[in-house]
């Protein structure tokens, strides 16, 4: 856990950027535009298909790429905590009483509850969808230098959204560092240990309020420093995003064809390759 990391289960922005800036593999040389386009295609694919085999295959490829880029797999599994909790909190209710063969069944106050094989498959399918997108997003962030990433933001988003993004990223570091030092100061005086939900809740509320106030003050100072250099409402970034190589066009073409095929025919890749 780095100085700015709040928990092992929350993606560490500092670590993500460290890998993006320092780790050089074949994936780092791929154009960020290609990786971004693949992200869009993956989102389309996981949205359109319900096929377990396609999703499992896609997740395996994404996880394999992540590991192949020499990114920290154990950390990744720890970072899965939040998306898993998010998915389970939604599917936990939907999965019960799905038609299918009962795996677990019981009743409470005369109301029957049944978890079927289809219900479990639904949970696994949605988890795969979520984890595929999360894993690929982290892979994208951790293999793309921030100057390229910021240049993409500058080109994709209209003003002032691009400006907000560009500044927000830099100040996320500072806000996280500030939150980290407040938590350290609290812990150093015996705070932060769970005495009661009420005490803990009050403590977090105080930390949140303090971070909010300090961030507000900092934003005023930043704005002042920008005005002092003639800021008139917008600024631009100088970085250029590396262009796509020919093989990247081919890969993107193939991937797009696969997604379109799945979308149009609603058939599995397995059926395509083994008629």
Partner 1 sequence: MEDSNTMTIIRADTAGIPHCAHNDKERELIHVDCASHIYPDGSVGIHDMCFYVQKNEIVALCGPNGSGKSTLIEHLNGLLTPSKGNIAVNGRSITTDEHTNLWREVGVVFQQSDDQLFAPTVLDDVMFGPLNLGLSLDAAKDSAMEALEAVGAADLVSKLPNYLSGGQKRLVSIAGILAMKPRIIALDEPTSDLDPVHSGMVEHLIYDLKERFGISVVIATHDLDLAARIADRICLVRQGSVFAEGAPAEIFYDEVLLRETGLKPPQIVQVYLAYCQMRGIVADYNPITIEETMEAIRRQ
46: region left, alpha or beta (phi > 0 left; psi from -120 to 50 alpha):
alpha
- Enumerate residues 6+ apart whose C-beta is below 8 A from 85: none
- Segment near partner 1 (CB under 8 A); pick from 45-53, 57-65, 227-235, 256-264: 227-235
Out of 93, 109, 194, 228, which residue is the one contacting partner 1 (CB under 8 A)?
228
Comparing C-alpha atoms, which of 170, 181, 186, 162 is closest to residue 218?
170
Of the two residues 97 and 237, which places its CB atom closer to partner 1 in the complex? 237
Region 156-215 residues binding partner 1, contact defined as CB under 8 A: 166-167, 169-171, 173-174
| Under rule CB under 8 A, residue 222 binds partner 1 | yes
The most distant pair of C-alpha atoms in the chain lies apart, rounded to whole Å, by: 72
Q: Compute the distance between CA of residue 161 and CA of residue 175 in angstroms, rounded to an integer.
A: 20
Q: How many other C-beta atoms lie within 10 A of the C-beta of residue 96?
A: 15
3-state class (DSSP) for residue 180: helix
Of the two residues 172 and 251, which places its CB atom closer to partner 1 in the complex? 172
| Under rule CB under 8 A, residue 226 binds partner 1 | yes
Six token digits for residue 9: 């289960």
Tell me the closest approach of the beta carbon of residue 230 to partner 1, in angstroms: 3
| Under rule CB under 8 A, residue 71 binds partner 1 | no
The contact pattern for partner 1, residues 239-268, with x = CB under 8 A and - = no contact, is: x-----------------------------
Q: Phi/psi at 180 (nearest 5 deg)?
A: -60, -45
- Positions touching partner 1 (CB under 8 A) are 14, 17, 21, 146-147, 150, 166-167, 169-171, 173-174, 218, 221-222, 224-232, 235-239
């Amino acid at each position: 856990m780095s100085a700015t990391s709040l928990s092992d289960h929350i993606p560490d922005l500092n670590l993500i950027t460290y890998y993006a800036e320092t780790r050089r593999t074949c994936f780092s040389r791929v154009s960020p535009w290609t990786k971004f386009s693949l992200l869009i295609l993956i989102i389309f694919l996981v949205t359109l298909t319900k096929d377990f085999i396609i999703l499992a295959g896609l997740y395996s490829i994404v996880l394999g790429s992540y590991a192949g880029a020499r990114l920290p797999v154990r950390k990744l599994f720890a970072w899965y905590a939040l998306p898993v909790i998010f998915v389970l909190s939604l599917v936990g209710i939907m999965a019960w009483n799905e038609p299918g063969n009962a795996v677990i069944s019981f009743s409470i106050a005369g109301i029957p509850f049944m978890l079927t094989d289809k219900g479990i498959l639904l949970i696994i399918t949605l988890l795969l969808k979520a984890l595929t997108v999360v894993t690929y997003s982290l892979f994208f962030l951790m293999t793309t230098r921030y100057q390229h990433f910021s240049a993409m933001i500058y080109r994709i988003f209209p003003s002032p959204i691009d400006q907000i993004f560009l500044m927000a990223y830099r100040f996320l570091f500072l806000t996280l560092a500030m939150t980290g030092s407040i938590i350290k100061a609290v812990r150093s005086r015996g705070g932060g240990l769970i005495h009661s939900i009420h005490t803990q809740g009050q403590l977090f509320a105080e930390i949140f309020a303090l971070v909010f106030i300090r961030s507000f003050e900092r934003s005023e100072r930043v704005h002042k420093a920008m005005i002092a250099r003639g800021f008139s409402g917008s600024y631009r970034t100088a970085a250029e995003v590396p262009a796509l190589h020919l093989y990247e066009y081919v890969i993107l073409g193939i991937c797009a064809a696969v997604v379109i095929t799945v979308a149009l025919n609603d058939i599995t890749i397995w059926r395509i390759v083994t008629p």
